[in-house]
Amino acid sequence: GSESEWVVMATGRSPTNIAVIKYWGKRDEDLILPINDSISLTLDPLHLSATTTAAVSPGFFRDRMWLNGKEIPLSGERYQKCLREIRKRANEVSDEKKGLKIKKEDWESLHVHISSYNNFPTAAGLASSAAGFACLVFTLAKLMNVKEDLGQISSIARQGSGSACRSLFGGFVKWTMGNNADGSDSLAIQLADEAHWTDLVVIIAVVSSKQKETSSTSGMRETVQTSALIKHRAETVVPARMLKMEEAIANRDFASFAKLACSDSNQFHAVCLDTSPPIFYMNDTSHRIINLVEKWNHSEGTPQVAYTFDAGPNAVLISPNRKTAALLMQRLLYQFPPNQETDLTSFVVGDKSI
Protein backbone atom coordinates (compact mmCIF):
# COMPACT_ATOMS: atom_id res chain seq x y z
CA GLY A 1 0.00 0.00 0.00
CA SER A 2 0.95 3.66 0.03
CA GLU A 3 3.44 4.81 2.59
CA SER A 4 0.91 6.51 4.85
CA GLU A 5 -1.13 3.34 5.33
CA TRP A 6 1.12 1.07 7.32
CA VAL A 7 1.01 0.60 11.07
CA VAL A 8 3.50 -1.50 13.04
CA MET A 9 2.54 -2.58 16.56
CA ALA A 10 4.05 -4.29 19.57
CA THR A 11 2.33 -5.49 22.73
CA GLY A 12 3.76 -6.26 26.15
CA ARG A 13 2.56 -7.16 29.60
CA SER A 14 4.23 -6.37 32.93
CA PRO A 15 3.11 -7.46 36.38
CA THR A 16 3.39 -5.27 39.40
CA ASN A 17 6.00 -5.97 42.05
CA ILE A 18 5.86 -5.93 45.83
CA ALA A 19 8.89 -4.68 47.72
CA VAL A 20 10.00 -6.70 50.73
CA ILE A 21 12.94 -4.35 51.32
CA LYS A 22 11.46 -0.95 50.54
CA TYR A 23 12.66 1.86 48.32
CA TRP A 24 11.94 5.19 50.01
CA GLY A 25 13.96 8.33 49.30
CA LYS A 26 15.92 9.68 46.34
CA ARG A 27 19.42 11.09 46.11
CA ASP A 28 18.67 12.49 42.63
CA GLU A 29 15.09 13.46 41.81
CA ASP A 30 15.56 14.00 38.06
CA LEU A 31 17.25 10.69 37.36
CA ILE A 32 15.28 8.88 40.10
CA LEU A 33 18.28 7.51 41.96
CA PRO A 34 17.45 5.94 45.34
CA ILE A 35 19.22 6.29 48.68
CA ASN A 36 19.16 2.52 49.27
CA ASP A 37 18.93 -0.82 47.47
CA SER A 38 15.58 -2.65 47.49
CA ILE A 39 14.23 -6.15 46.84
CA SER A 40 10.84 -7.14 45.46
CA LEU A 41 8.91 -10.10 44.21
CA THR A 42 7.12 -9.86 40.91
CA LEU A 43 3.52 -11.04 41.00
CA ASP A 44 1.86 -13.19 38.41
CA PRO A 45 0.26 -11.08 35.67
CA LEU A 46 -3.21 -12.56 36.05
CA HIS A 47 -4.57 -10.08 38.58
CA LEU A 48 -2.11 -7.22 38.75
CA SER A 49 -0.52 -6.22 35.50
CA ALA A 50 -0.37 -3.59 32.81
CA THR A 51 -0.87 -4.50 29.16
CA THR A 52 0.40 -2.01 26.62
CA THR A 53 0.26 -1.78 22.85
CA ALA A 54 2.48 0.71 21.05
CA ALA A 55 1.93 1.51 17.40
CA VAL A 56 3.90 3.52 14.87
CA SER A 57 2.68 4.87 11.55
CA PRO A 58 3.63 7.69 9.20
CA GLY A 59 -0.03 8.68 9.59
CA PHE A 60 0.53 9.67 13.24
CA PHE A 61 1.46 13.31 13.74
CA ARG A 62 2.34 13.39 17.43
CA ASP A 63 2.97 10.96 20.27
CA ARG A 64 -0.27 10.10 22.09
CA MET A 65 -1.22 7.79 24.94
CA TRP A 66 -4.42 6.30 26.37
CA LEU A 67 -4.59 4.81 29.87
CA ASN A 68 -7.57 2.52 30.54
CA GLY A 69 -9.24 3.96 27.44
CA LYS A 70 -8.83 7.64 28.36
CA GLU A 71 -6.30 9.87 26.67
CA ILE A 72 -3.62 11.19 29.02
CA PRO A 73 -0.99 13.85 28.31
CA LEU A 74 2.48 12.60 27.43
CA SER A 75 3.99 16.01 28.14
CA GLY A 76 5.26 15.01 31.61
CA GLU A 77 9.02 14.82 31.94
CA ARG A 78 8.92 11.14 33.05
CA TYR A 79 7.12 10.02 29.88
CA GLN A 80 9.33 12.24 27.73
CA LYS A 81 12.50 10.79 29.24
CA CYS A 82 11.38 7.21 28.63
CA LEU A 83 10.41 7.99 25.03
CA ARG A 84 13.65 9.88 24.39
CA GLU A 85 15.89 7.18 25.89
CA ILE A 86 14.20 4.38 23.92
CA ARG A 87 14.20 6.38 20.65
CA LYS A 88 17.93 6.99 21.05
CA ARG A 89 18.48 3.22 21.05
CA ALA A 90 16.05 2.35 18.23
CA ASN A 91 17.21 0.09 15.40
CA GLU A 92 16.09 -0.79 11.91
CA VAL A 93 12.87 -2.76 11.64
CA SER A 94 12.07 -4.57 8.42
CA ASP A 95 9.54 -7.06 7.15
CA GLU A 96 10.46 -8.26 3.67
CA LYS A 97 7.14 -10.00 3.00
CA LYS A 98 5.27 -6.76 3.62
CA GLY A 99 7.93 -4.68 1.87
CA LEU A 100 8.35 -2.64 5.02
CA LYS A 101 11.51 -0.99 6.24
CA ILE A 102 11.87 1.49 9.09
CA LYS A 103 15.43 2.77 9.08
CA LYS A 104 17.23 3.62 12.32
CA GLU A 105 17.11 7.34 11.58
CA ASP A 106 13.38 7.21 10.71
CA TRP A 107 12.48 6.72 14.38
CA GLU A 108 13.44 10.32 15.17
CA SER A 109 10.57 11.67 13.08
CA LEU A 110 7.98 8.87 13.46
CA HIS A 111 5.32 9.21 16.15
CA VAL A 112 3.81 6.55 18.38
CA HIS A 113 0.35 5.89 19.75
CA ILE A 114 0.29 3.96 23.00
CA SER A 115 -2.63 2.25 24.71
CA SER A 116 -2.28 0.77 28.18
CA TYR A 117 -4.65 -1.06 30.49
CA ASN A 118 -4.25 -1.94 34.16
CA ASN A 119 -6.29 -4.88 35.43
CA PHE A 120 -6.41 -3.34 38.93
CA PRO A 121 -7.23 0.08 40.47
CA THR A 122 -4.79 2.84 39.57
CA ALA A 123 -2.99 4.68 42.41
CA ALA A 124 -4.51 2.62 45.23
CA GLY A 125 -1.15 1.76 46.72
CA LEU A 126 -0.98 -1.24 44.43
CA ALA A 127 2.00 0.11 42.51
CA SER A 128 0.26 0.81 39.22
CA SER A 129 3.08 3.10 38.13
CA ALA A 130 5.57 0.25 38.50
CA ALA A 131 3.73 -2.06 36.11
CA GLY A 132 2.79 0.85 33.86
CA PHE A 133 6.23 2.30 33.22
CA ALA A 134 7.88 -1.12 33.05
CA CYS A 135 5.38 -2.12 30.39
CA LEU A 136 5.61 1.16 28.48
CA VAL A 137 9.38 1.01 28.24
CA PHE A 138 9.47 -2.72 27.48
CA THR A 139 6.85 -2.39 24.72
CA LEU A 140 8.48 0.65 23.12
CA ALA A 141 11.83 -1.17 23.19
CA LYS A 142 10.21 -4.13 21.44
CA LEU A 143 8.54 -1.91 18.84
CA MET A 144 11.79 -0.07 18.10
CA ASN A 145 13.96 -3.20 18.09
CA VAL A 146 16.13 -1.98 20.95
CA LYS A 147 19.00 -4.43 21.53
CA GLU A 148 20.03 -3.49 25.08
CA ASP A 149 19.60 -6.17 27.76
CA LEU A 150 16.76 -6.08 30.32
CA GLY A 151 19.03 -4.55 32.97
CA GLN A 152 19.69 -1.56 30.70
CA ILE A 153 16.00 -1.36 29.81
CA SER A 154 15.21 -1.40 33.54
CA SER A 155 17.37 1.65 34.10
CA ILE A 156 15.24 3.51 31.53
CA ALA A 157 12.02 2.32 33.21
CA ARG A 158 13.50 3.61 36.48
CA GLN A 159 13.33 7.13 35.05
CA GLY A 160 9.57 6.72 34.61
CA SER A 161 9.03 5.51 38.16
CA GLY A 162 11.69 4.13 40.48
CA SER A 163 9.94 0.91 41.41
CA ALA A 164 9.18 0.22 37.72
CA CYS A 165 12.73 -0.99 37.13
CA ARG A 166 12.01 -4.05 39.28
CA SER A 167 9.01 -5.13 37.15
CA LEU A 168 11.18 -5.95 34.11
CA PHE A 169 12.05 -9.30 35.68
CA GLY A 170 9.97 -12.07 37.20
CA GLY A 171 10.75 -13.85 40.45
CA PHE A 172 12.87 -12.03 43.03
CA VAL A 173 14.48 -8.80 41.93
CA LYS A 174 17.02 -6.45 43.42
CA TRP A 175 17.24 -2.79 42.47
CA THR A 176 20.83 -1.88 43.07
CA MET A 177 21.12 1.83 43.89
CA GLY A 178 24.39 2.21 41.99
CA ASN A 179 27.23 4.71 42.41
CA ASN A 180 27.37 6.58 39.12
CA ALA A 181 26.08 10.15 38.98
CA ASP A 182 24.43 9.48 35.59
CA GLY A 183 22.38 6.55 36.96
CA SER A 184 23.79 4.05 34.48
CA ASP A 185 24.40 1.46 37.22
CA SER A 186 21.12 2.02 39.09
CA LEU A 187 19.19 -0.91 37.69
CA ALA A 188 17.35 -4.15 38.37
CA ILE A 189 19.01 -7.56 38.70
CA GLN A 190 17.15 -10.85 38.94
CA LEU A 191 18.08 -12.62 42.19
CA ALA A 192 16.03 -15.76 41.47
CA ASP A 193 13.60 -16.56 38.70
CA GLU A 194 9.89 -17.47 38.85
CA ALA A 195 10.65 -21.16 39.32
CA HIS A 196 12.77 -20.67 42.43
CA TRP A 197 10.12 -20.48 45.17
CA THR A 198 6.82 -21.54 43.68
CA ASP A 199 5.08 -22.47 46.95
CA LEU A 200 4.66 -18.86 48.04
CA VAL A 201 1.13 -17.48 47.80
CA VAL A 202 0.42 -13.76 47.83
CA ILE A 203 -2.92 -12.43 49.09
CA ILE A 204 -3.69 -8.74 48.79
CA ALA A 205 -6.34 -7.55 51.21
CA VAL A 206 -7.83 -4.47 49.58
CA VAL A 207 -8.59 -2.20 52.51
CA SER A 208 -9.41 0.74 50.29
CA SER A 209 -9.25 1.19 46.54
CA LYS A 210 -9.39 4.99 46.91
CA GLN A 211 -6.56 7.06 45.52
CA LYS A 212 -3.89 7.70 48.15
CA GLU A 213 -3.54 11.17 49.67
CA THR A 214 0.22 11.63 49.56
CA SER A 215 1.95 10.54 46.37
CA SER A 216 5.08 8.46 46.81
CA THR A 217 7.14 11.07 45.00
CA SER A 218 6.26 13.96 47.31
CA GLY A 219 6.12 11.70 50.36
CA MET A 220 9.67 10.47 49.93
CA ARG A 221 10.90 13.98 49.15
CA GLU A 222 9.47 15.22 52.46
CA THR A 223 10.93 12.24 54.31
CA VAL A 224 14.43 12.89 52.95
CA GLN A 225 14.11 16.58 53.87
CA THR A 226 12.72 16.19 57.38
CA SER A 227 13.25 12.71 58.87
CA ALA A 228 16.23 12.00 61.11
CA LEU A 229 15.49 8.26 61.03
CA ILE A 230 15.78 7.89 57.25
CA LYS A 231 19.56 8.38 57.29
CA HIS A 232 20.03 5.55 59.78
CA ARG A 233 17.69 3.37 57.76
CA ALA A 234 19.41 3.99 54.42
CA GLU A 235 23.00 3.84 55.65
CA THR A 236 22.89 1.17 58.32
CA VAL A 237 19.68 -0.86 58.46
CA VAL A 238 18.99 -1.56 54.79
CA PRO A 239 22.54 -2.61 53.79
CA ALA A 240 22.52 -5.26 56.55
CA ARG A 241 19.00 -6.38 55.70
CA MET A 242 19.79 -6.70 52.00
CA LEU A 243 22.39 -9.36 52.70
CA LYS A 244 20.09 -11.28 55.03
CA MET A 245 17.14 -11.06 52.64
CA GLU A 246 19.19 -12.27 49.69
CA GLU A 247 20.30 -15.22 51.80
CA ALA A 248 16.73 -15.97 52.99
CA ILE A 249 15.52 -15.97 49.38
CA ALA A 250 18.38 -18.14 48.15
CA ASN A 251 17.65 -20.69 50.92
CA ARG A 252 13.85 -20.41 50.69
CA ASP A 253 14.01 -19.68 54.40
CA PHE A 254 10.46 -18.48 55.05
CA ALA A 255 10.96 -17.62 58.73
CA SER A 256 13.83 -15.24 58.00
CA PHE A 257 12.11 -13.91 54.89
CA ALA A 258 8.94 -13.10 56.87
CA LYS A 259 10.74 -11.47 59.80
CA LEU A 260 12.78 -9.25 57.49
CA ALA A 261 9.82 -8.30 55.29
CA CYS A 262 7.59 -7.38 58.27
CA SER A 263 10.37 -5.40 59.96
CA ASP A 264 11.16 -3.53 56.79
CA SER A 265 7.53 -2.64 56.15
CA ASN A 266 7.20 -1.39 59.71
CA GLN A 267 10.37 0.67 59.47
CA PHE A 268 9.23 2.22 56.20
CA HIS A 269 5.98 3.32 57.90
CA ALA A 270 7.94 4.49 60.95
CA VAL A 271 10.03 6.69 58.69
CA CYS A 272 6.80 8.07 57.19
CA LEU A 273 5.61 8.88 60.71
CA ASP A 274 8.98 10.54 61.38
CA THR A 275 8.38 12.87 58.42
CA SER A 276 7.15 16.40 59.06
CA PRO A 277 4.23 16.68 58.63
CA PRO A 278 3.81 12.94 59.35
CA ILE A 279 2.54 10.69 56.57
CA PHE A 280 -0.06 8.05 57.43
CA TYR A 281 -0.44 5.41 54.77
CA MET A 282 -1.91 2.68 56.96
CA ASN A 283 -5.30 2.95 58.67
CA ASP A 284 -7.02 1.13 61.55
CA THR A 285 -7.87 -1.84 59.36
CA SER A 286 -4.22 -2.13 58.30
CA HIS A 287 -3.20 -2.10 61.96
CA ARG A 288 -5.75 -4.78 62.80
CA ILE A 289 -4.34 -6.99 60.06
CA ILE A 290 -0.81 -6.54 61.43
CA ASN A 291 -2.09 -7.52 64.87
CA LEU A 292 -3.84 -10.59 63.53
CA VAL A 293 -0.69 -11.81 61.78
CA GLU A 294 1.66 -10.95 64.65
CA LYS A 295 -0.52 -12.80 67.18
CA TRP A 296 -0.80 -15.83 64.93
CA ASN A 297 2.93 -15.89 64.20
CA HIS A 298 3.73 -15.49 67.90
CA SER A 299 1.36 -18.25 69.00
CA GLU A 300 2.92 -20.72 66.54
CA GLY A 301 6.44 -19.75 67.63
CA THR A 302 7.53 -19.22 64.01
CA PRO A 303 6.22 -16.97 61.21
CA GLN A 304 3.21 -18.38 59.37
CA VAL A 305 2.59 -15.35 57.20
CA ALA A 306 4.48 -12.17 56.22
CA TYR A 307 2.81 -8.80 55.77
CA THR A 308 4.00 -5.75 53.91
CA PHE A 309 2.30 -2.41 53.23
CA ASP A 310 3.24 0.13 50.59
CA ALA A 311 2.17 3.76 50.21
CA GLY A 312 -1.45 2.94 51.05
CA PRO A 313 -3.54 0.92 53.53
CA ASN A 314 -3.80 -2.35 51.54
CA ALA A 315 -2.12 -5.39 53.06
CA VAL A 316 0.09 -7.66 51.00
CA LEU A 317 0.20 -11.00 52.79
CA ILE A 318 2.65 -13.70 51.81
CA SER A 319 2.20 -17.27 52.97
CA PRO A 320 4.65 -20.14 52.49
CA ASN A 321 2.12 -22.49 50.89
CA ARG A 322 -1.52 -22.97 49.89
CA LYS A 323 -2.51 -24.59 53.16
CA THR A 324 -1.36 -21.60 55.22
CA ALA A 325 -2.94 -19.24 52.68
CA ALA A 326 -6.29 -20.99 53.22
CA LEU A 327 -5.93 -20.69 57.00
CA LEU A 328 -5.07 -17.02 56.60
CA MET A 329 -8.19 -16.43 54.51
CA GLN A 330 -10.28 -18.10 57.23
CA ARG A 331 -8.80 -15.86 59.89
CA LEU A 332 -9.23 -12.73 57.80
CA LEU A 333 -12.86 -13.54 56.99
CA TYR A 334 -13.57 -14.27 60.66
CA GLN A 335 -12.09 -10.93 61.78
CA PHE A 336 -13.49 -8.97 58.86
CA PRO A 337 -16.85 -10.53 58.05
CA PRO A 338 -18.23 -9.43 54.68
CA ASN A 339 -20.62 -6.47 54.54
CA GLN A 340 -19.52 -4.65 57.67
CA GLU A 341 -18.32 -1.07 58.00
CA THR A 342 -14.64 -1.72 58.56
CA ASP A 343 -14.57 -4.40 55.93
CA LEU A 344 -11.89 -5.32 53.61
CA THR A 345 -13.44 -4.63 50.26
CA SER A 346 -11.97 -7.61 48.43
CA PHE A 347 -9.11 -10.02 48.13
CA VAL A 348 -6.76 -10.63 45.31
CA VAL A 349 -5.16 -14.02 45.54
CA GLY A 350 -2.25 -14.92 43.37
CA ASP A 351 0.71 -17.13 43.08
CA LYS A 352 4.01 -15.40 43.00
CA SER A 353 5.03 -14.89 39.41
CA ILE A 354 4.52 -16.94 36.30
- CB of residue 263 to ligand 2P0, shortest distance in Å: 14
Where do the H-state alpha helices sit in the chain? 77-88, 128-143, 150-157, 216-226, 229-232, 238-250, 254-273, 284-300, 322-335
Choice from 16, 38, 159, 353 touching ligand 2P0 (CB under 6 A): 38
| Min CB(99)–ligand 2P0 separation in Å | 42
| 129 is a contact residue toward ligand 2P0 (CB under 6 A) | yes
| Cβ at position 77, least distance to ligand 2P0 in Å | 12
- The verdict on 37 binding ligand 2P0 (CB under 6 A) reads no
Q: Rule CB under 6 A: is residue 204 a binding residue for ligand 2P0? A: no
Q: Scanning residues 56 to 115, which ones bind ligand 2P0 (CB under 6 A)?
A: none
Options 163, 267, 286, 353; binder of ligand 2P0; rule CB under 6 A: 163
Question: Which member of 161, 275, 286, 297 binds ligand 2P0 (CB under 6 A)?
Answer: 161
Nearest distance from C-beta of residue 129 to ligand 2P0, angstroms = 5
In single-letter form, the type of residue at position 168 comes to L
Strand-pair category, 111-118 with 64-67: parallel
Burial of residue 174 (number of CB atoms within 10 Å: 0-12, 13-18, 19+): buried
Q: Minimal distance in Å, beta carbon 162 to ligand 2P0? A: 3
Q: What's the Rg (C-alpha) of the chain? A: 21
- Is 23 near ligand 2P0 (CB under 6 A)? yes
Instruction: Give the nearest distance from C-beta 153 to ligand 2P0 in angstroms.
Output: 16
Size of the site for ligand 2P0 (CB under 6 A): 16
For ligand 2P0, the closer of residues 17 and 324 by Cβ is 17
Task: Say how many CA atoms lie within 13 Å of 233 toward its Cβ.
Answer: 27
Q: Does 169 bind ligand 2P0 (CB under 6 A)?
A: no
Report d(CA 172, CA 48) in Å as an integer: 16
Burial per residue of 74-101, b for 16 or more beta-carbon CB atoms within 10 angstroms, e otherwise: beeebbebbbebbbebbeebeeeeeeee
Tell which one of 32, 86, 206, 271 touches ligand 2P0 (CB under 6 A).
32
260 near ligand 2P0 (CB under 6 A): no
Q: What are phi and psi of 100, to 5 degrees?
A: -110, 135
Per-residue CA distances from 191 to 10, 236, 245, 311 (Å): 28, 22, 11, 24
Q: How far apart are CA 11 and CA 16, in angstroms?
A: 17
Coil/strand/helix, residue 189: strand
CA proximity to 269, closest of 226, 229, 320: 229
By C-beta, is 10 or 19 nearer to ligand 2P0? 19
Which residue of 12, 15, 16, 19 would you call a contact of ligand 2P0, by CB under 6 A?
19
Widest CA span of the chain, in angstroms?
A: 72
Residue 242 within binding range of ligand 2P0, rule CB under 6 A? no
Which residues lie near ligand 2P0 (CB under 6 A)? 19, 22-24, 32, 38, 127, 129, 161-163, 216-217, 268, 310-311
